[in-house]
């Protein structure tokens, strides 16, 4: 049976962000790298909502046959968590890359004052937030900034909505890159700082891949190997 692997990027990134990972994945995986609504370079972003992003990935899942494995990086983790909530019977495994599902009503950043879109912060701002660019060389950083697209603000500050308890029955893997697994385990609950549901998942595997917050740029081959192993689990 074919296994479809859907790679959902975090904020500011299109499907292109996974290119080096896809090149290193085994050929027997049916890989999909969607660019979400409003994250195309010339897109209008003012009317794009969190629901638009959830629906885009859910529709992709609905259109595939066989097994589906969902992967979410960074802000994409909360998104795939919502998709699992809507389609727990269709997702065989969900993989969170330096991310996790959020609790009902939580938002990535409800405090943002941007009106239409949230631009890519400076590297210094990322460092202050704890989002490390460790392992990414200058050439790759320059390409990252050149190709990054402002993220629709309603996606950033929109509340997560989950309600089906069957979401906790879907096996999950957490690939820990900027925070070691042993440290993250102590914070895998519904309270601050992450407001995550990781601790509620019944079958959860932790994988350490030490690097910065963007392993698709800093360790793409190793990330591909970790994804392939988890997808076959």
- Of the listed ranges 23-37, 124-138, 164-178, 190-204, the one predicted with least confidence: 124-138
Domain boundaries along the sequence of the chain: 3-232
pLDDT for 233 equals 83
Q: In what order do the strands lie in the sheet with 91-97?
A: 29-32, 3-8, 67-73, 91-97, 172-176, 204-208
Supply the pTM of this predicted model.
Answer: 0.97
Q: Which residues face 94 on adjacent strands?
A: 70, 172
**pLDDT above 90: percentage of residues in the chain:** 95
Q: Looking at residue 196, what DSSP letter applies?
A: B
pLDDT for 129 equals 84
Q: What is the 3-state secondary structure (H, E, C) of 67-114?
A: EEEEEEECHHHHHHHHHHHHCCCCEEEEEEECCCCECCCCCCCCCCCC
Beta strand pairing call for 204-208 and 29-32? unpaired
Provide the 3-class DSSP secondary structure of residue 77.
helix
DSSP readout, 126-151?
Answer: HHHHT---TT--HHHHHHHHHH--PE
Q: For 3-232, which CATH class?
A: alpha beta
Distance in angstroms (rounded) separating the CA atoms of residues 177 and 212: 6
Residue-wise pLDDT for 59-105, tens only, equals 999 999 999 999 999 999 999 999 999 999 999 999 999 999 999 99
Residue-wise pLDDT for 27-57, tens only, equals 999 999 999 999 999 899 999 999 999 999 9
The torsion angles phi and psi of 18, rounded to 5 degrees, stand at -95, 5
Locus of tokens 């970790």: 226
pLDDT for 1 equals 74
Q: Is the pLDDT confidence value at 131 over 90?
A: no
Locus of tokens 């972003």: 45
**Residue 22, token pair as written in the block:** 């896809």
């Amino acid at each position: 049976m074919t296994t479809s692997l859907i790679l959902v990027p975090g904020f500011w990134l299109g499907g292109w962000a996974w290119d080096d990972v896809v090149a290193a994945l085994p050929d027997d995986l049916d890989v999909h790298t969607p660019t979400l609504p409003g994250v195309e370079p010339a897109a209008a972003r003012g009317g794009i909502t969190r629901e638009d992003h959830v629906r885009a990935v859910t529709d992709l899942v609905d259109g595939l046959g066989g097994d589906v494995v969902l992967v979410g990086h960074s802000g994409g983790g909360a998104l795939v968590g919502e998709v699992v909530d809507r389609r727990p019977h269709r997702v065989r495994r969900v993989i969170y890359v330096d991310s996790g599902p959020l609790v009902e009503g939580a938002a990535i950043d409800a405090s943002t004052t941007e009106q239409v879109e949230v631009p890519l912060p400076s590297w210094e701002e990322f460092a202050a937030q704890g989002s490390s660019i460790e392992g990414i060389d200058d050439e790759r950083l320059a390409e990252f900034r050149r190709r990054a697209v402002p993220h629709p603000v309603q996606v950033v500050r929109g509340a997560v909505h989950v309600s089906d308890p069957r979401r906790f029955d879907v096996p999950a893997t957490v690939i820990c890159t900027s925070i070691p697994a042993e440290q993250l385990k102590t914070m895998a609950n519904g309270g601050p700082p992450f407001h995550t549901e990781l601790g509620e998942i019944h079958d959860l595997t932790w994988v350490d891949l030490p690097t910065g917050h963007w392993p698709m740029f800093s360790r793409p081959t190793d990330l591909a190997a970790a994804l392939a192993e988890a997808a076959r689990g």
